[in-house]
Each structure stands twice: as C-alpha cells, then as structure tokens.
Amino acid sequence: MEDSNYVSYEQHVQLADVHYARAVGEMPEMDCQIEAARLITSLVTQPDISICDVGCGAGHYQRSLRKQIDQTFSYCGFERHDIFIERARKAWSEQQASEFRQGTVFDLPASDREFDITLCSNLLMHVPTIVKPIEELVRITKRHLLIRTMIGEKTYKIQEVYNSSFWPSVSWPASDELLDDGTPREFEYENIWGKEYFESVVKRFAPESEVTFTEDLAWTADSIQATRDANVLPNATKIIDGRQVFDYVILPYYWVLVSLA
C-alpha cells in the first residue's frame, strides 16, 4: 500500500527548498533535528556505525548528526520523490560517507538489518497506515529504531485539506476543496496514533524489542517562533498557551525508541 496523500509537485518543490536551506545552514536547525542527534549520539558506542534516515528530505538531519556525533559513521537517507533526492545529493555532494536512495517507507530498498540505527522523524503521522512502514523500519534495523511522530491515548485519523487560500500552488479555492462525496482534492495526513496501538504494531514485527515512549519537550517557544518566521511554509507550527499547535490540532509529539539488540 502506498502513501495516498494528494500533494502536488509544486508543494514538494516548496518543501524541498526549505529542507535544502536547512541542510546547508541557510536556515536554522529545527529543535527536533538537534534532539534527534542528541538521542542518537547516546546510542553510538563505537565508530563506523551505519545510520539510516527514512523520510530524510534533503538530508537536513544529517547536519545535526555530523555536528554532535564524535565517532565516524556512514549515513544513508531514503526519500520517495525525485526533487528531495536531487536537493539532498546537491547539499551533501562533498560528504563521502553519505548516500541517498529513492524509496518509500512502504518498500525500502535496503537489506535486512543493514543499518545499526534507523531514524524516522515526522513521517509516520503522514501515512494512511503504520503497519507496513513499521514492518519495513524494523526489517532494515540491526540495533535501534528511533521514531518521532504524534502519539495520543487514542488514535485520530486526520486530513489537512488544501486550497489556494493557504497554498498558492493549489489551483482550486476553498469553495471547491472537497468533491461532493467528501473526498479532498488535495490533502496530507496529520494522524495521531494511539500509544497502545502503536506499540502493538511494533510488537508484531519485533516481539522481543523494548519500546520506550518519551514526550518531545526539547523545544522553546522562541525557537518555534524563529523557525516559523524563517519558514516559507504556510502550515508551520506555532505556540498557543505554551503548546505547539498546527491550526486547530495540538501536536503531541513523542520520540519512540525501539531497541532490537
């Protein structure tokens, strides 16, 4: 099953440009980049390990990893769309211990247990199901799988519906954003996965693993606002009453660490 988001090529270009700017240091690192690197650094116990980044964008998380990890390591990023792969390879053309492969989280072009550590940040809330993606993430990972996504007590399937009032690249107005049967013309998932359900899916494919959920609190209101001010994306998060908010949705971001070895 493929990701069935209806997102235009123009929006992918816009997002890829933002990721590229972060990868080359033209925009600041996001708090979650910095925190991902910190968490992965604590898992690195020897040199020459392999780190995989699924849904890597332009490889902007690699920038934080290279800053924080003292040991030598190889990095491999996976992305579905050509435009992100092009930006990533341009950003990291001089980094020899870095490669990018085109592939989807539903079918990753990697061998079983190929990578010591796998990172998947801000991707699993944007897919219609986590079953096949988690199966793939577990399959390619040897030691540790680190996931950042939205976790709640209950599962909510959410669609952000696009129209030209918020996304200039979209060709239809808000009055025409839905078909008469209720299907969005263009949307992106913003799902919140129930904690018990999420862990049960992990255990299907890694029954002996240890699964740890940690709320992501490694951000400040000032840094979120600074990122929003620098960001050209209309759906950048903001702070309301001390909470990260995406339009009307409070964002319950968690780090999920799956220890396999």
Please give the backbone phi and psi of residue 44, each rounded to the nearest 5 degrees, phi first: -85, 110
Question: What is the pLDDT, as a whole number, of residue 177?
Answer: 95
Q: Is the pLDDT of residue 7 over 60?
A: no
Give dist(CA 250, CA 70) in Å, integer: 36
Q: What is the mean pLDDT of residues 239-243?
A: 64
pLDDT for residue 66 is more than 60: yes
Query: Which of 9-13, 52-56, 89-93 is predicted with the least confidence, judged by mean pLDDT?
Result: 9-13
Q: What is d(CA 155, CA 39) in angstroms, rounded to the nearest whole number? A: 26
pLDDT band of residue 166 (cuts 50, 70, 90) is confident
* Helices first, then strands: H and E counts in the chain: 7, 13
Question: For the range 158-162, what are the long-range contacts, defined as Cβ-Cβ under 8 Å and sequence gap of 24 or more?
Answer: 158/189, 158/190, 158/191, 158/192, 158/249, 159/184, 159/187, 159/188, 159/189, 159/190, 160/187, 160/188, 160/189, 160/190, 160/235, 160/247, 161/185, 161/186, 161/187, 162/7, 162/11, 162/186, 162/187, 162/188
Ranking 21-30, 82-91, 98-107, 249-258 by mean pLDDT, the lowest is 249-258
Give the span between the Cα atoms of 65 and 105, in whole angstroms: 21
Lowest average pLDDT, out of 100-104, 177-181, 187-191, goes to 187-191
Q: Does 97 score more than 90 pLDDT?
A: yes
- Give pLDDT tens digits for 16-31: 998 999 999 998 898 9
pLDDT at 2: 47
User: What pLDDT sits at residue 15?
Assistant: 83
Going by pLDDT thresholds of 50, 70 and 90, the confidence category of residue 238 is low
9 pLDDT tier (thresholds 50, 70, 90): low
| Per-position DSSP letters for 227-240, written without gaps between them | HHHH---TT--EEE
pLDDT at 57: 95
User: By C-alpha distance, which of 259, 258, 256 is closest to 121?
Assistant: 256
Q: What is the pLDDT of residue 155?
A: 97
The pLDDT value recorded for residue 26 is: 93
Phi/psi-derived region of residue 57, left when phi > 0, alpha when psi is between -120 and 50, beta in every other case: left
Which amino acid makes up residue 181? D
What is the arithmetic mean of pLDDT over 48-73?
A: 97
What does the pLDDT read at residue 13?
A: 81
pLDDT > 80? residue 245:
no
